Chain A
C-alpha cells in the first residue's frame, strides 16, 4: 500500500513540477501553487475513478444486463457528462470558495472570542483514530446526500433540473453524472459546505469524493445484481437504485434515495427492498429532449423548465 502511495506521490509530483508549476510561475500565480497541487488530486482521482468504474462495471453489464443497449447515442451523451464532471472542477471550486468563506467566518468568530469546534472535539475518540474519523465523514456526508436527493424530488424547480438525470431510458454506469450544470453547482456547494462544517481535512476530501462516486456509478450500472437480504440493507446496489429510477418513482413519489447507505431510506420510510424488481427507467411524462437530446439541448431545456417552475407555470 505504501509503495502505491509513494508511486502516486512521485507521479503527481512529477506532473506538478513539469506541467503545472512552470505555467503557474510564468503566469505569476505561484501564490496558488498549493491550491493547484490539491486540485491535481481531484483531477487524477476523477480519472482513476472513471478507469476503475469502467473496469468493474463494463464486465458486469456484459455479464447480466437488465436490458439490451438500444440507444448508444444516449450513452455517449452520458459519457460526455462524466468527462465534464469527474475532472473534479466543481467540487474543487466549491471547496476552495467555501474554504475562503469559512476562513472569513471563523475569522469573524475569533474576533468575537469564539473558536468553532471540530468534529473531533465533539467526539474525542476520533482524534486518535483517523480511519474511524474518515468513516464518520463519509457517513455524515452520505446522510447529507440523502436529504439533498430528497429535496431534488420534493421541490418543483429543483426537480426540473434533476429530471435530466431521471430522463435516461438507457441507464448505464455512465448515467451517474448526467446532471444539469446548475444542479451540479448546488450539489457541490451542499457537499463542500457540509465537508467544511464537519471539518474534513482537505487532503482526505478527494478520497471521500472518489469513494462516493464509485458507489454511485456502480448503482447506476445496467446489471441485474442485488446484494442479498442483508447486503441490500447495508449498501446501495444496482437493483436498489434502479428501482429509484423506475418509471413509477419519478418526482415526489420516489423511493430509494440513498447514495451509499440504504439505512437512511430505511429510517425515513422511503426504502423499497423488493429484490427481484427491475423496472424500466425514465420519466414517461417528461419532454423528449431531456431523454434523447444532446448535452446542450438538455441544459437549455432543463433551465427553461426550472424558470417555469419558479414562475408557477
Chain B
C-alpha cells in the first residue's frame, strides 16, 4: 500500500523515474506444494500460492488469459490469472505432469510420468479423447508444426515415441539414449536432452533415427529456444550448466556454470533467462549478454517457471482494487526494445517451420 501511494504521489508530481518493469514470475515448487510469485523489479516473492501436492509444469490457456498449472499427485489443473496471481478455478484431471497445447490449438496432450500414460484431450473442452499406455515414465512432449504428431520422451525406457494425433496411435518408438527428458521440434528435427549422458540428441522425426549428438554437459535435460529464435539454451543437471547453441548450426557458442541443477526456463522482455535451480530451492536470472547471474530463494525443488510481463508492481493481496497493468494495457513498445514476448511455459513451440 505504502509503495502504491508513493508511486502515485511521484507520478502526480511528475517525478516518477523511467519505468522499471515489474514482471511477475511464477515458480512451481514441486517439493513443498506451492507456487512462488516473484516480482522481477525487486526480486522479492510477493505471493506464495498453496497447492495440494506436486506442481511441475504450466502453460498459458489458448487465449493467453490464464495459466494452467498441473498438480500431478492431486489430479488437478489449477487456473491462475497471470496478471493478478489469483487462482480462478480448478479442474479434476488425471495426473497432469507435463502438458502442452498443439500448435493448431485443437489438442492438449498430457503425460503422466508416474502412471505410464499419455492422455490426448480436446483442448477447448478438455474432454479425454484417448489414453495410451506407454513404456516407463513418459516425461516431456513436443509437436510437429502441423499438429499431426506428438513426440513423447520415455525417461525410464531410453525411448522417444511418436503418436499420430489423427488416429491417436503410436507411429514408432525409438531408442535415443539413457533417460531422455526434454524434447523440442527444431527446424525439421527433434532435439532431445539425454539426462543419462552429456549431450542433446538430434533425431529424425520421420523414423526416430539418431542423426548426431551435441555435447552440452553431463545430465543434459531440456532445451529452450530464445524468443528471437537465434539461440537454443540447453540445461545440464549434473554439470549444472547452461549451454547456448547456435540455432542454425547447433554448435555450442557459450556456456555458464550455474550451481543448483538448472531445469526449466522462461525469458523476460529484456532477454534475461529466468530458470529454476532444482536442488537448492532457488531460481537464477541469467543475462546472456553479460553473463551476470543472480539467484533468488523460492520453495523446495522448483520446476516449471513462467514470466508474465507487467509494468507495475503487484498490489498486496486484498488491499486495494487492482488497476489493470497487464501487458494489453502497456504502451506500444518500439520493435526490438521492450516488446512483450510470448512466453514459453516450459518451452516454446518452434516458430521456425
Given contacts A28-B196, A30-B196, A30-B219, contact A202 B54 (CB under 8 A): yes
Per the 8 Å Cβ criterion, residues 162-208 of A in contact with B are 199, 201-204
How far is A37 from B277 in the complex, measured between Cα atoms in Å? 13
Given contacts A6-B297, A106-B115, contact A25 B238 (CB under 8 A): yes
> Are A25 and B219 in contact, with the CB atoms below 8 A?
yes
How far is A118 from B74 in the complex, measured between Cα atoms in Å? 7
Residues of B within 8 A of A (CB): 30-34, 50, 52-54, 73-75, 92-95, 112, 114-117, 131, 137, 155-156, 178-179, 195-196, 218-219, 237-238, 240, 259-261, 277-282, 297, 300-301
27 A-B Cβ contacts within 8 A? A5-B297, A9-B280, A9-B300, A13-B277, A13-B279, A21-B238, A25-B196, A28-B178, A30-B178, A30-B237, A30-B238, A31-B155, A31-B179, A31-B195, A34-B301, A37-B278, A37-B301, A38-B31, A110-B75, A115-B93, A127-B50, A127-B52, A128-B50, A199-B53, A199-B74, A201-B52, A202-B73
Flag A8-35 by CB within 8 Å of B: 1 or 0 each: 0110111011000110010010110110
> Are B301 and A30 in contact, with the CB atoms below 8 A?
no
A13-B280, A201-B73 given; name 18 further pairs at CB < 8 Å: A2-B297, A10-B281, A13-B261, A28-B178, A28-B196, A30-B178, A31-B137, A34-B301, A104-B115, A115-B75, A116-B75, A118-B52, A129-B50, A199-B73, A199-B74, A202-B31, A203-B300, A204-B33
Min CB gap A108→B, angstroms: 10
Min CB gap A304→B, angstroms: 40
A284 within 8 A of B: no
Q: Which A residues touch B117, using CB under 8 A? A: 107
Q: Which B residues touch A38, using CB under 8 A? A: 31
How far is A262 from B273 in the complex, measured between Cα atoms in Å? 53
A59 within 8 A of B: no
Q: Which B residues touch A110, using CB under 8 A? A: 75, 94-95, 115
Per the 8 Å Cβ criterion, residues 96-145 of A in contact with B are 99-100, 103-104, 106-107, 110-111, 115-116, 118, 120, 127-130
> Are A115 and B94 in contact, with the CB atoms below 8 A?
yes
Contact of B32 among A12, A25, A129, A204 (CB under 8 A): A204
Contact of A203 among B32, B156, B219 (CB under 8 A): B32
How far is A14 from B219 in the complex, measured between Cα atoms in Å? 16
How far is A130 from B299 in the complex, measured between Cα atoms in Å? 14
Contact of B260 among A17, A25, A31, A128 (CB under 8 A): A17
The 6 closest A-B pairs by CB, nearest first: A13-B280, A9-B281, A13-B279, A201-B33, A110-B94, A107-B115
Q: Which B residues touch A204, using CB under 8 A? A: 32-33
Main secondary structure of the interface of A (DSSP, over half): helix
Give the size category of A's interface with B: 35 or more
How far is A17 from B260 in the complex, measured between Cα atoms in Å? 7
Given contacts A13-B281, A118-B53, contact A111 B238 (CB under 8 A): no
Closest to A199 in B: B53
> Are A25 and B218 in contact, with the CB atoms below 8 A?
yes
Which of A2, A9, A107, A202 is most buried by chain B, counting CB atoms within 10 A of its CB?
A: A9
Given contacts A106-B75, A107-B117, A199-B74, contact A17 B297 (CB under 8 A): no
Q: Which B residues touch A115, using CB under 8 A? A: 75, 92-94
Q: Which A residues touch B240, using CB under 8 A? A: 17
Q: Which B residues touch A100, using CB under 8 A? A: 114
How far is A34 from B178 in the complex, measured between Cα atoms in Å? 16
> Are B237 and A33 in contact, with the CB atoms below 8 A?
yes
How far is A13 from B282 in the complex, measured between Cα atoms in Å? 10
Q: Which B residues touch A33, using CB under 8 A? A: 237
How far is A118 from B238 in the complex, measured between Cα atoms in Å? 35
> Are B52 and A199 in contact, with the CB atoms below 8 A?
yes
Given contacts A30-B196, A115-B92, A201-B33, contact A10 B53 (CB under 8 A): no
How far is A14 from B279 in the complex, measured between Cα atoms in Å? 8
Closest to B277 in A: A13
How far is A204 from B54 in the complex, measured between Cα atoms in Å? 11
Closest to A130 in B: B50
Contact of A17 among B30, B52, B92, B279 (CB under 8 A): B279
Q: Which A residues touch B196, using CB under 8 A? A: 25, 28, 30-31
Min CB gap B221→A, angstroms: 9
Min CB gap B119→A, angstroms: 9
> Are B32 and A201 in contact, with the CB atoms below 8 A?
yes
Q: Which A residues touch B94, using CB under 8 A? A: 106-107, 110, 115
Q: Which A residues touch B219, using CB under 8 A? A: 21, 25, 30
